[in-house]
Amino acid sequence: MSKLLVLRLCFVLIASSSLFHVGTSITHKSQDGSEEWGYVQVRPKAHMFWWLYRSPSRVDAGSKPWPTILWLQGGPGGSGTGFGNFLEIGPLNLNLKPRNSTWLQKAHLLFVDNPVGTGYSYVESGGEFVKGDVEAAIDMTTLLTEVSNDIVGLRNATLYIFAESYGGKFAVTLALSLLQAIQAGNLTLNLRGVALGNSSGSYLLNLSKERTVLLCGNEKHTKGFTKSHENLHFYWILDAGHFVPVDQPCVTLNMVDAITESPAS
């Protein structure tokens, strides 16, 4: 079944490459509606690929809406629909076997190959590549505007951007661009938060004092520390390399649950 989907996906990619008009999108859906994927032409000759997984764990819990996570890979040039999806947090691993630590337990997951030129996102001529983070953010804003218009349920979604490595720079630039588009009335999304994982940047919190110890499951040893100041939350996960969700799946899932205030049990 999953293999079939991947094959269908490849077919769609090949079949649809030159059918676009500017600003239009093409969307496909799995039979049960749990997955949607497609392209948005974000500028003339510049096409971005996205892939949405709806969570089978979704519960409606009154004031706590079910969150959607937009995952941004680093690099720049790392494919989110590839690395983040199959290596880190998506429902299937590289062998297309279920991943028991998938973040789908806590949220819907939206992967995008960002910026154009990454993964399945492509340009028709070299002049269409982005030249910086701000241009990348504008393309992503166009993509999210199209996708949230097209995809039932994503409009007004409570969105969290999670980013790894260089993706942290994209995430912050994108969040500002999205807020401007939302304020201008160009986009209805409920942007709730940005999470930067092992990101480039500098950190001022001193985690040596007044920190909360993170434990997980039945294990007694410390998995990490967290400290908050108002709505800024800092997590320090121990014994983890660059792919934190892979190295420490249990405590990472708890972190995602806390950040997104997921109603998942």
Ligand X SMILES: *[C@@H]1O[C@H](CO)[C@@H](O)[C@H](O)[C@H]1NC(C)=O
Residues that bind ligand X (CB under 6 A): 100, 155-156, 180-181, 184, 186, 188, 198, 206, 208-209, 241-242
219 bridge partner residues: 216
Q: Which is nearer to ligand X, 4 or 229 (CB)?
A: 229
Q: Are strands 108-112 and 67-72 parallel, antiparallel or unpaired?
A: parallel
74 bridge partner residues: none
Q: In angstroms, rounded to a whole number, what is the distance separating the alpha carbons of residues 144 and 154? A: 9
Q: In angstroms, rounded to a whole number, what is the distance separating the alpha carbons of residues 88 and 4? A: 22
What region, left, alpha or beta, does residue 211 occupy, with left being phi > 0 and alpha being psi -120 to 50 degrees? beta
Q: Which is nearer to ligand X, 13 or 138 (CB)?
A: 138
Q: In angstroms, rounded to a whole number, what is the distance separating the alpha carbons of residues 6 and 3? A: 5
Residue 108 near residue 197, CB atoms below 8 Å: no
Q: Which is nearer to ligand X, 113 or 164 (CB)?
A: 164
Nearest approach in angstroms of CB 208 to ligand X is 4
Nearest approach in angstroms of CB 15 to ligand X is 30
Nearest approach in angstroms of CB 120 to ligand X is 25
Nearest approach in angstroms of CB 139 to ligand X is 12
Q: Which is nearer to ligand X, 210 or 230 (CB)?
A: 210
